[in-house]
Each structure stands twice: as C-alpha cells, then as structure tokens.
C-alpha cells in the first residue's frame, strides 16, 4: 500500500524520446501534461487536475486535425487496418503522448496474431471467423478481440497502485503484491465472454448510416466477441476486506483507466461505472491479472483490469488504477455520453445525451461464422452451418435455430453440437490444459457468462441465392429481433437481430447441376467467380431447337 506520487515530479528521461517536445503559450507540453509516475509510461493523470484538462482543451482548440473519415455511405476499405486513426494519433501527439501511439502498435505486433485490424489507433481488432470456431470455447489471447479507446499505457507491475476512494469506509491504495496476496483476498477464476456493444455493427451501417462521432471508428463485423478464463479477486471482497465496505449511499462503482480518452477536444482518463448490486454479486465483477492462465497482456489491460460479466466490454475497464464508489453512474463521457441506446426516430436532429439509455447488460445474440456471406456453397442437399450464440447478464444460451430460407423454417441445433457448461468436480485451483494453455478450474467456475459455439447440418434443396439466418433463445426466453431494421438505432449499437447471410447454393445432387459441373471440369473451367460468364455455349442449337419444338414459347391462337 503505497503513497500517492507527486504529480509535479517529472522524469526528464521521459522528455528525450524520439518525439520532440513542443510548447503551448511558452510552456513545454510535457510539463503541462506530465507522465509523472515513474514506471507508468504513457499515463497522464487528468481527472484530478481540472486546470490541466482546461489547458489541454485550449491547446486542442488551436489545432487542425485530420477530418473524420466518411465510410458509412460507401463500402468499407478492403485494407487491413480497415481504418487509420489519424485524428486520434494527432490528439495524443498534441498533448505530448505520441509515444503511446507507437507503443500501442508495438503491442499489437507482440501480443496479437493475425487479427482483422478495424482501427489501428486506438487499437480495435476483431478475431477472424476461423479462429472463433477453431479456438473453441476459449479464445486464445493472441486472437481475442480488442476494443481500446486510447493508447496502451506501459505500466510496471511493481510501480503500479490501485486507489479506492469515494463512498467507502476506508479509502485505500493497493499494490499488485497486495492484490495477489491470497491471505488478504480470496482469488477467483471466471469464464467470461466479452463483447463490444458494436459487434455486427456493419449490418446497421449497411442498412442506414448513423452517428459519425469518434465512437463509430469501430465498424465491427461478427468478430468483436471472445471468451477467456480470467483470474483475479472479486471487487466485492476487496471493498469489504480492504475498505471495510461501501457506505449506504453507494450505488455505482466507477473505474478509471490509465489510458487517455478524448471527446470533443477534451482530455479525460477513461472512466465507466457499474451498479453496486452488480458488484455485490460476488464473482460478477473481478479485478483480474491473468487471462487463460497467462499474465494479462498489456494490450488487454495489464497490470490490472476489471472484468464485468454479462455487460458490454466497455465496462471491463483496462489499466484500472482508481475505483470510486459513487452515489450515481460515472459522469465520464464514455458512461454518460456514449454507449447509449436510442429510439429509432432519434438522430442528429434531436439526439440528446439524456434521451438514450445506458447500455450495460448485453441481450441475446448470435452469428453465423460459416458459410461466409456471398459464399458459393457446393453441396449434396445438406449444408453445415457454424457460429456463436451468447446472452448477457447471466442468461444462458438454451437454443440456437437456423433457417435456410430467410426465416420461415427454423431448425434447432442438437445439444451435442453446442459447447457446454462444464460440470466439474475438480478441486479448487486445479489446473487443466486446454490447447497447451494452463487454465485453472475450480468449483467457483461458472459458465453462465460464456457463449456457446454451435454447428448444425441443415437440409437445402433449393439452388441459387438463399438467405440463411440464425437466432437464439436464452434462459429467460429472450430471442432476437427479426430484422436489422427492427432494432436499428442512431449510435448503431447492439446489432442483435437474427443474423442473415446470403449464400449461393449449388446442389450437386440435382442431375442438371451435376451435368454442368462435369462439363466445367471437362473443359477446365470454374464456376467461380460466379459473375464471370461461362466461355462455352451452354446449350447447343439443336438442343434448344428441340426444347422449343417440345414447349413452343408462345401460344398460336
């Protein structure tokens, strides 16, 4: 339990990086916005210094930034990264935090593997569909999606401290050594699916464009979801054992992250909150330092992050260094001005912060991962479909249904073809190995907070373009809206409608199709790409003449 550092103490080494210090009104920017905690590289304390925030706003107002890209009215670039965060990089550079931009990308290279980079900075990357399926119930750390709102701070675990303040009996500071001391706090492992509330947002963008604020710089597909086993201490236990509990007025616990967040040219530390009743539910809010049996990667929030089960990923604050017990939700912009769910008729002409409700727990949703949309599927009358299904807030996925005809007929997956909760009798803290990763399992392990991967083989007679869709029913009997339009909203959050894909069906059990496929093979030609015409004449003159004689095109009388 360490002392609070003097924020004015600036390590001069930090000013001699590869980026030149600049001046604002005659003062060094690095002096104005110091990275003043030794061992906390890329961290500036904003929330305790209103004057520092005011100066940053004044400074940012004097700058020109790259304009916000328009990508909603056309197709997304086919590049990887899809989008480049010029504006965000410039914000960071303007306040002397350019190093954090580079460090963040270094961490992508080091800690992640083969991601779809949706935005290079702040880093947002989604898991490729094949890893979602192949990794199985637990997503490998290097494949797990990331949705960051700022740079990745580089904090030495030994120098780290967590401060707990606000409506608690005893405000306190804790080192990582304190937190990891099992004699002080009992540890837990929880299997948790985390999901960005923007998952599958592209479907909403395709339907109608929405809010173009910085928020939207994450045009996610179906891969902004992943599941891992986290180890840490339940926040409830820390509040009780280290702080003597919360005061009766406490309603929300606010988490402040060491990353810098910009909103309308103001600088903040990332801040969000969850209700006390959620924290009170024991393992549902964890302070975690381990992910799938490995030290938490820096890009995922090391040395310490919050993991909130069943809620949008945004509440699982990374690099959490301060927790405030509050009488109401955090006033941070991420909590109050973003992740809001608006009525469909609210838009740019009438949107207010107060007419959206705050997205906390996630609804039931699912996605087809294979086949891919617009895929040409050659089959013999049956097509295998695979994907994920999830419901938040402790609701368990009970049933997944697939329709091969756009939503008329629905086939249910067999329980054997859905990943299961594990009814384990392992002793507390037993270690099991999952795909080479040592994962601790114990009797406190719950899987109510995890997705289920599923597969099913559906009968498909028809050929040509078909619409496949899936929907899920959870343990509260919730299911998904029918169409994207049903739940389209201005901020393009929570695309939980039945997931629809287009497939081009080629049923080779049909004689005419089998004949054409043989003909193609003999001629060394391909059906792909589908829109490229066949080079040969598909029907000889004599053949269509004979067909015409049999079925003349027009009546005579």
Does the footprint of a second copy cover residue 486 (CB under 8 A)?
A: no
Does the footprint of a second copy cover residue 443 (CB under 8 A)?
A: no
Give the C-alpha separation, 67 to 217, whole Å. 13
Q: Name the residue nearer to a second copy (CB basis): 181 or 213.
A: 213
String marking each residue 348-367 x if it binds a second copy according to CB under 8 A: xxxxxxx--xx---------
Phi-psi region of 293 (alpha: psi -120 to 50; beta: other; left: phi over 0): left
Give the C-alpha separation, 195 to 123, whole Å. 15
Give the C-alpha separation, 428 to 81, whole Å. 42
237 closest CA partner among 303, 293, 295, 281: 281
Near a second copy by CB under 8 A, which window of 13-21, 36-44, 468-476, 528-536? 528-536
Does the footprint of a second copy cover residue 464 (CB under 8 A)?
A: yes
Residues 36-65 that bind a second copy (CB under 8 A): none
Give the C-alpha separation, 58 to 72, whole Å. 31
Does the footprint of a second copy cover residue 329 (CB under 8 A)?
A: yes
**How many other CB atoms sit within 10 Å of the CB of residue 197?**
28
Residues 269-288 that bind a second copy (CB under 8 A): 275
Does the footprint of a second copy cover residue 73 (CB under 8 A)?
A: yes
Give the C-alpha separation, 483 to 344, whole Å. 13
Q: Name the residue nearer to a second copy (CB basis): 443 or 536.
A: 536
Structure tokens of 17? 């990086």
Residues written for the chain: 557
Contact (Cβ atoms closer than 8 angstroms) between residue 103 and residue 41: yes
| Least separation in angstroms between CB 244 and a second copy | 22
| H/E element, 53 | helix 50-61
| Single residue of 51, 416, 522, 535 touching a second copy by CB under 8 A | 535
Does the footprint of a second copy cover residue 497 (CB under 8 A)?
A: no
Q: Name the residue nearer to a second copy (CB basis): 427 or 556.
A: 556
Q: Name the residue nearer to a second copy (CB basis): 246 or 288.
A: 246
The torsion of the CA quartet 80, 86, 87, 90, rounded to 10 degrees, works out to 140
| Least separation in angstroms between CB 216 and a second copy | 8
Does the footprint of a second copy cover residue 331 (CB under 8 A)?
A: yes
The partner residues of 453 in beta bridges, in order of sequence, read: 388
CA end-to-end span of the chain: 99
| Least separation in angstroms between CB 53 and a second copy | 13
Q: Name the residue nearer to a second copy (CB basis): 443 or 465.
A: 465
Structure tokens of 29? 């920017």
Does the footprint of a second copy cover residue 531 (CB under 8 A)?
A: yes
Tell me, by CB under 8 A, how many residues bind a second copy: 75
| H/E element, 94 | helix 86-94
Does the footprint of a second copy cover residue 26 (CB under 8 A)?
A: no
| Single residue of 23, 114, 465, 521 touching a second copy by CB under 8 A | 465
Q: Name the residue nearer to a second copy (CB basis): 245 or 442.
A: 245
Near a second copy by CB under 8 A, which window of 154-162, 224-232, 413-421, 464-472? 464-472
| Single residue of 72, 140, 148, 496 touching a second copy by CB under 8 A | 72
Does the footprint of a second copy cover residue 556 (CB under 8 A)?
A: yes
Does the footprint of a second copy cover residue 154 (CB under 8 A)?
A: no
| Single residue of 50, 75, 248, 524 touching a second copy by CB under 8 A | 75
Near a second copy by CB under 8 A, which window of 83-91, 155-163, 224-232, 326-334? 326-334
Does the footprint of a second copy cover residue 510 (CB under 8 A)?
A: yes
Q: Which residues contact 290 (CB under 8 A, 6 or more apart)?
A: 189, 230, 231, 232, 296
Give the C-alpha separation, 326 to 324, whole Å. 6
Near a second copy by CB under 8 A, which window of 40-48, 218-226, 231-239, 458-466? 458-466
| Single residue of 512, 522, 524, 542 touching a second copy by CB under 8 A | 512
The DSSP-derived string for 257-285 is EEEEEEETTEEEEEEEEEEHHHHTSGGGE
| Single residue of 136, 212, 394, 481 touching a second copy by CB under 8 A | 212
Q: Name the residue nearer to a second copy (CB basis): 114 or 213.
A: 213
| H/E element, 109 | helix 98-111
**Maximum Cα–Cα distance across the chain:** 101
Does the footprint of a second copy cover residue 490 (CB under 8 A)?
A: yes
Does the footprint of a second copy cover residue 411 (CB under 8 A)?
A: no
Residues 245-264 that bind a second copy (CB under 8 A): 251, 264
| Single residue of 488, 495, 498, 499 touching a second copy by CB under 8 A | 488
Q: Tell me 88's DSSP state.
A: H
β pairing state of 375-379 and 499-507: parallel
| H/E element, 193 | strand 188-195
Contact (Cβ atoms closer than 8 angstroms) between residue 122 and residue 150: yes
| H/E element, 542 | helix 541-550
Does the footprint of a second copy cover residue 210 (CB under 8 A)?
A: yes
């Amino acid at each position: 339990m360490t002392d609070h550092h003097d924020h004015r103490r600036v390590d001069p080494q930090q000013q001699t990086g590869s980026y030149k210090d600049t001046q604002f009104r005659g003062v060094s920017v690095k002096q104005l916005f110091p990275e003043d905690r030794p061992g906390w590289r890329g961290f500036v304390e904003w929330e305790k210094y209103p004057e520092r925030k005011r100066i940053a706003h004044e400074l940012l107002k004097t700058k020109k930034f790259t304009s916000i890209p328009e990508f909603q009215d056309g197709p997304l670039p086919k590049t990887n990264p899809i989008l480049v965060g010029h504006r965000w990089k410039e914000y960071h550079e303007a306040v002397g935090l350019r190093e954090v931009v580079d460090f963040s990308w270094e961490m992508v290279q080091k800690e992640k593997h083969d991601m779809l980079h949706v935005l290079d900075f702040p880093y947002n990357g989604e898991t490729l569909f094949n890893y979602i399926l192949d990794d199985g119930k637990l997503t490998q750390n290097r494949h797990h999606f990331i949705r960051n709102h700022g740079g990745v701070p580089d904090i030495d675990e030994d120098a780290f401290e967590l401060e707990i303040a606000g409506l608690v009996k005893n405000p306190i500071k804790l080192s990582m050594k304190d937190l990891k001391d099992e004699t002080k706090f009992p540890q837990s492992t929880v299997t948790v699916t985390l999901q960005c509330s923007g998952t599958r947002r592209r479907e909403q963008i395709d339907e109608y464009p929405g809010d173009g604020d910085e928020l939207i710089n994450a045009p996610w597909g179906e891969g902004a979801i992943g599941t891992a086993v986290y180890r840490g201490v339940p926040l409830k236990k820390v509040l009780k054992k280290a702080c003597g509990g919360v005061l009766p007025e406490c309603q929300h616990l606010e988490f402040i992250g060491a990353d810098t967040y910009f909103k309308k040219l103001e600088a903040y530390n990332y801040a969000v909150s969850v209700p006390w009743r959620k924290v009170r539910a024991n393992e549902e809010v964890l302070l975690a330092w381990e992910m799938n049996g490995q030290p938490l990667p820096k890009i995922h929030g090391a040395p310490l992050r919050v993991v909130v089960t069943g809620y949008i990923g945004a509440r699982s604050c990374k690099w959490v260094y301060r927790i405030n017990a509050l009488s109401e939700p955090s006033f941070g912009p991420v909590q109050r001005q973003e992740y809001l769910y608006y009525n469909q008729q609210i838009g740019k002409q009438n949107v207010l912060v107060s007419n959206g409700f705050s997205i906390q727990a996630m609804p039931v949703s699912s996605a087809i991962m294979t086949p891919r949309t617009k895929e040409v599927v050659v089959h013999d009358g049956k097509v295998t479909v695979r994907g994920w299904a999830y419901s938040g807030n402790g609701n368990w996925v009970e049933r997944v249904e697939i329709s091969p005809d756009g939503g008329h007929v629905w086939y249910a997956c067999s329980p054997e073809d859905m990943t299961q909760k594990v009814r384990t009798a392992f002793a507390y803290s037993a270690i099991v190995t999952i795909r080479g990763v040592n994962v601790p399992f114990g009797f406190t392990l719950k899987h109510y907070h995890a997705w289920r991967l599923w597969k099913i083989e559906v009968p498909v007679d028809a050929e040509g373009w078909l619409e496949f869709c899936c929907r899920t029913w959870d343990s509260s009997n919730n299911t998904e809206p029918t169409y994207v339009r049903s739940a389209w909203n201005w901020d393009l959050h929570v695309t939980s409608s039945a997931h629809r894909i287009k497939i081009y069906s080629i049923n080779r059990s049909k004689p005419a199709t089998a004949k054409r496929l043989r003909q193609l093979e003999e001629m060394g030609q391909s059906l792909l790409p589908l829109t490229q015409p066949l080079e040969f004449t598909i029907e000889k003159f004599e053949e269509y003449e004979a067909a015409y004689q049999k079925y003349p095109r027009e009546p005579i009388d």
